[in-house]
Amino acid sequence: MPTCTVTLEEALGRVTAEDVLAPDDVPNFYRSTVDGYAVVAADTQGASESIPTFLTVVEEVAMGRPARETVCSGSCAYVPTGGMLPQGADAMVMVEYTENFHGDEVAVYQSVAQGAGVVVPGEEVRKGAVLIPKGTALNPAHVGALAAAGIWEITVYRPWRVAILSTGDELVHPAQPAGPAQVRDVNTWALAALTRACGLQIVLRRTLPDREELLEQALTQAKEQADLVLTSGGSSQGKADYTCRLMDRVCDRGVMTHGLSVKPGKPTILAFDGASQTLMIGLPGHPVAALMIYQALGVWLWKRLTGQREQKPRLAEMALNIPGAPGKTTFVWVKLQTDENGRQTAIPVLGKSGLMGTLVDADGYLVLDRNKEGLRKGEPVEIYRLGI
């Protein structure tokens, strides 16, 4: 898997291609977490509201500046939140528990333990520790942790370049009127949106009529430009056959699979070209099936090859009985709803022929094992979402 370097400015959603180690201790100094006085903790033993300890203020430490003086028994220094403790000090007393006399003497009304109000060097990040493991898709907290450690550039996997080829004499662009027998090209735009949602890059996007030589040209061009080529077309047998034949011709390793025991998605084709390291997926023509197979194979493989951990599914209970398809792994779209007992339930989103409109309300999908006859009401299920 090829890698590239990005700065924290573009790091969101990228996947780390190596363990990111902390180059230094963070913080690299004794840092106060409160506004107050840096003291020798032992000096405050027994101090209380009625019996304060009196200390001499030797310094007022400024933010971002090293402390200059040393604190020893009987003395202290003012340090703001985030400021550096002077040498010798081992605890902070919050300003609320002190009273300042004539600027250079302070009464301390609280006893503090060693380390109170102090972050010690390396407490946030220890030098050499794995800050972010390889295979992490970076979120805002990760970006913050990298910034804290002083890591500005990181090595991430270069997102796959994806080509999307949709074929069909019946297809018209969504912006164009559809005449009788014509339908709008759905797959190009739904697959493009899922590609973007996964942080992958679209390099080629074509809608083609059903002419073999045009698809062959497009596959040949896509092979050179893309890491992943998605085709989708009518699910009629004739079309699936020639897509398969062309992929077999264009890819040096040929077609690996034609037909999967999944529902929906049976007519799926997988082919690989070794020279260009390009994977081709011939998706079913039905938009819902095409999205599902892209998710189950394309997105899954991207996550797998970049070492990303699996999605943590949502747990729910089936709201009603549903049948399985014996011998076929079945993908079922569901809507999540909390029932009157506070339990999360999964309601299947059913629709004839997997029409796109039915997916609008879905919260995710579940995978029904090929060996299960179905799912019973109340049975626990795991719900995954579209995307990474």
**Under rule CB under 8 A, which residues in 326-355 are in contact with its own copies?**
336, 342-344, 352-353, 355
A 10 A CB-CB count for 41 gives 18
Cα separation, 36 vs 71, whole angstroms: 14
Give whichever of 19 and 224 is closer to its own copies, judged by the CB atom. Answer: 19
* Identity at 101, one-letter amino acid code: F
Give whichever of 12 and 256 is closer to its own copies, judged by the CB atom. Answer: 12
Q: Is 298 in the site for its own copies (CB under 8 A)?
A: no
Stretch that binds its own copies, among 52-60, 248-256, 318-326, 359-367 (CB under 8 A): 359-367
Q: Is the bond leading into 159 cis (omega within 30 degrees of zero)?
A: no
CB proximity list for 33: less than 8 A, separation 6 or greater: 81, 82, 92, 117, 118, 119
Taking CB under 8 A as the criterion, the residue among 18, 59, 69, 124 binding its own copies is 124
Q: Is 155 in the site for its own copies (CB under 8 A)?
A: no
* Identity at 204, one-letter amino acid code: L
Taking CB under 8 A as the criterion, the residue among 91, 93, 190, 269 binding its own copies is 190
* Identity at 242, one-letter amino acid code: Y
The interaxial angle of helices 212-225 and 237-250, nearest 10 deg, is: 40
**Under rule CB under 8 A, which residues in 132-151 are in contact with its own copies?**
132, 138-151
**Under rule CB under 8 A, which residues in 48-77 are in contact with its own copies?**
61-67
CB proximity list for 80: less than 8 A, separation 6 or greater: 32, 35, 61, 62, 63
Cα separation, 338 vs 314, whole angstroms: 13
Q: φ and ψ at 327, to 5 degrees?
A: 85, -5
A 10 A CB-CB count for 233 gives 25
Taking CB under 8 A as the criterion, the residue among 95, 107, 256, 301 binding its own copies is 95
Contact map string, positions 215 to 254, toward its own copies, x by CB under 8 A: -------------------xxxxxx---------------
Cα separation, 191 vs 164, whole angstroms: 7
Contact map string, positions 258 to 277, toward its own copies, x by CB under 8 A: --------------------
Of the candidates 163, 164, 167, which has an alpha carbon nearest to the alpha carbon of residue 208? 167
Contact map string, positions 9 to 48, toward its own copies, x by CB under 8 A: x-xxx----------x-xxxx-x-x-x-------------
Least Cβ distance, residue 300 to its own copies (angstroms): 15
Least Cβ distance, residue 3 to its own copies (angstroms): 20
Cα separation, 241 vs 167, whole angstroms: 13
Least Cβ distance, residue 375 to its own copies (angstroms): 15
Give whichever of 51 and 181 is closer to its own copies, judged by the CB atom. Answer: 181
Give whichever of 374 and 387 is closer to its own copies, judged by the CB atom. Answer: 387
Q: Is 80 in the site for its own copies (CB under 8 A)?
A: yes
